[in-house]
Structure 1
Amino acid sequence: MIKRLLIAIVALVIVAGGIIGYNLFVGKMIAGIFANMKAPPVAVSVTQVVAADWQPGLEAIGTAAAVQGTDLATEAAGIVREIRFAANDRIEKGQALVQIDDRQERADLDSARAALTLAETALTRAKELRQKGVSATSALDEAEAAAIEARATVAKLEATLSTKQLTAPFAGTIGIPQIEIGSYVAAGTVFATLQDRSRMRVDFTLTESEAALVSPGMSVTVTSEVGDVSAEGKITGIEPKIDPNSRLVTLRADVPNEGEKLTPGQFLRVRVALPVEKDVIALPQTVVSSSLYGDSVFVVREEKAEGSDTAELHARQVFIKVGRHFDDKVEIRTGLQSGDQVVNAGQNKLSSGATVTIDNSQSLPGVGGN
Structure 2
Amino acid sequence: MSTTLDKPDVDAPVTKQPAQNGVPEAERNVATNAQASIVVTILGWIPSVLVLSLLAGIGWYGHHNDWKLPSLTSIATTEVASGPQWCDSHGVPEDDCVVCDPSLLELPPELTFCNEHGVHGCVLHHPELAQTKTPVDITDADLQRAAEALSLIPRAENLPLSSSAGSRIQFASIEAMNKAGVDVEPVTRASITESIEAAGEIQYNATKTAQVSPSADGIVRKVLVNVGDWVKVGDVLAVVDSKDIGRLKSELLSALLEERLQLDQLARVEKLAPSGAVPGSRVIEVKTAMQKALVAVERVIRDFANLGVSVDHVALQSSNLAETKRRVREIGMTQIDSSTGGDNLIAVTAPIEGRIVDRDITVGEVVDRGSRMFRIADTRTVWLDLRVAAEQASLARLGLPVRYQGDGSQVKHEGTITWISSDVDPQTRTVRVRAELPNADASLRNESFGRGEIVLRQEPAAIVVPEESLQWDGSSHVVFVRDARFFEKDRPKFFVTRSVRPGAKQDGFVEIIAGVLPGEVVASSGSDVLRAQLLRSNLGAGCTCGH
Give the TM-score, by structure 1 length: 0.62
* Structure-2 separation of matches of 1:70 and 1:154: 26
| Alpha-carbon offset, residue 232 of structure 1 | 1.3
Any idea what the Cα deviations from partners look like across 1:22-63, whole Å, max 9, x if unmatched?
A: xxxxxxxxxxxxxxxxxxx89999865546553211112222
* Structure-2 separation of matches of 1:198 and 1:155: 36
Q: Which residue matches 1:66?
A: 204
Any idea what the Cα deviations from partners look like across 1:211-258, whole Å, max 9, x if unmatched?
A: 33333222211111224221112222333x233635544332222223
Identify which of 259, 273, 295 aligns with 1:120: 259
Any idea what the Cα deviations from partners look like across 1:279-298, whole Å, max 9, x if unmatched?
A: 8665678x79xxxxxxxxxx
Any idea what the Cα deviations from partners look like across 1:300-341, whole Å, max 9, x if unmatched?
A: x9xxxxxxx9x99xxxxxxxx997544665668999996235
| Alpha-carbon offset, residue 88 of structure 1 | 0.8
Identify which of 256, 274, 287 aligns with 2:456: 274
| Alpha-carbon offset, residue 96 of structure 1 | 1.0
**Contact 2:192–2:462 (8 Å) recurs in 1:** yes
Q: Which residue matches 1:363?
A: none
**Contact 1:116–1:154 (8 Å) recurs in 2:** no
**Contact 1:50–1:339 (8 Å) recurs in 2:** no
**Contact 2:183–2:523 (8 Å) recurs in 1:** no
* C-alpha spacing 1:236/1:175, structure 2 compared with 1 (3 Å): closer
Matches within 5 A, 1:200-211: 200-211=382-393
| Alpha-carbon offset, residue 85 of structure 1 | 0.4
Q: Which residue matches 1:139?
A: 286
* C-alpha spacing 1:278/1:154, structure 2 compared with 1 (3 Å): closer
Matches within 5 A, 1:153-168: 153-157=300-304, 159-160=306-307, 162=309, 164-168=346-350
Q: Which residue matches 2:222?
A: 82
* Secondary structure, counterpart of 1:274 in structure 2: strand
2:418 matched to 1:236? yes
* Structure-2 separation of matches of 1:83 and 1:42: 80
Identify which of 191, 194, 197 aligns with 1:56: 194
**What letter is aligned with 2:193?**
Q
* C-alpha spacing 1:198/1:279, structure 2 compared with 1 (3 Å): closer
Identify which of 417, 436, 446 aligns with 1:264: 446
* C-alpha spacing 1:327/1:255, structure 2 compared with 1 (3 Å): farther
* Secondary structure, counterpart of 2:416 in structure 1: strand
* C-alpha spacing 1:329/1:198, structure 2 compared with 1 (3 Å): farther
* Structure-2 separation of matches of 1:120 and 1:87: 46
* Structure-1 separation of matches of 2:287 and 2:513: 93
Matches within 5 A, 1:206-355: 206-239=388-421, 241-243=422-424, 245=426, 247-276=429-458, 324-326=504-506, 339-340=521-522, 342-343=524-525
* Secondary structure, counterpart of 1:194 in structure 2: strand
**Contact 2:180–2:529 (8 Å) recurs in 1:** no
Q: How many residues are paired up? A: 294
**What letter is aligned with 1:185?**
V
**What letter is aligned with 1:172?**
G
Runs of at least 5 residues in structure 1 that lack an aligned partner in the other structure: 1-40, 289-298, 302-308, 313-320, 354-370
**Contact 1:229–1:261 (8 Å) recurs in 2:** no
Q: As a proportion of its length, which structure holds more strand?
A: 1
Identify which of 292, 295, 311 aligns with 1:148: 295
* Secondary structure, counterpart of 2:201 in structure 1: strand
* Structure-2 separation of matches of 1:262 and 1:60: 17
Q: Which residue matches 1:173?
A: 355
**Contact 1:49–1:341 (8 Å) recurs in 2:** no
Select the structure of larger CA radius of gyration: 2
* Structure-2 separation of matches of 1:273 and 1:61: 14
**Contact 2:186–2:465 (8 Å) recurs in 1:** no
* Structure-2 separation of matches of 1:136 and 1:207: 78
* Structure-2 separation of matches of 1:271 and 1:329: 19
* Secondary structure, counterpart of 2:292 in structure 1: helix
**Contact 2:256–2:293 (8 Å) recurs in 1:** no
**Contact 1:223–1:269 (8 Å) recurs in 2:** yes
Runs of at least 5 residues in structure 2 that lack an aligned partner in the other structure: 1-178, 310-331, 333-345, 470-479, 483-489, 494-500, 531-547
**Contact 2:262–2:286 (8 Å) recurs in 1:** no
**Contact 2:182–2:529 (8 Å) recurs in 1:** no
**What letter is aligned with 1:58?**
I
2:371 matched to 1:189? yes
* Structure-1 separation of matches of 2:284 and 2:367: 50
**Contact 1:61–1:268 (8 Å) recurs in 2:** yes
* Structure-2 separation of matches of 1:225 and 1:328: 24
* Secondary structure, counterpart of 2:373 in structure 1: strand
* Structure-1 separation of matches of 2:261 and 2:296: 13
| Alpha-carbon offset, residue 83 of structure 1 | 0.7
| Alpha-carbon offset, residue 173 of structure 1 | 1.2
| Alpha-carbon offset, residue 180 of structure 1 | 1.1
| Alpha-carbon offset, residue 174 of structure 1 | 1.0
* C-alpha spacing 1:204/1:231, structure 2 compared with 1 (3 Å): same
**What letter is aligned with 2:290?**
A
CA RMSD in angstroms, aligned pairs only: 4.6
* Structure-2 separation of matches of 1:77 and 1:325: 62
Give the TM-score, by structure 2 length: 0.44
| Alpha-carbon offset, residue 141 of structure 1 | 0.5
* Secondary structure, counterpart of 1:55 in structure 2: strand
* Structure-2 separation of matches of 1:87 and 1:248: 35
* C-alpha spacing 1:74/1:280, structure 2 compared with 1 (3 Å): same
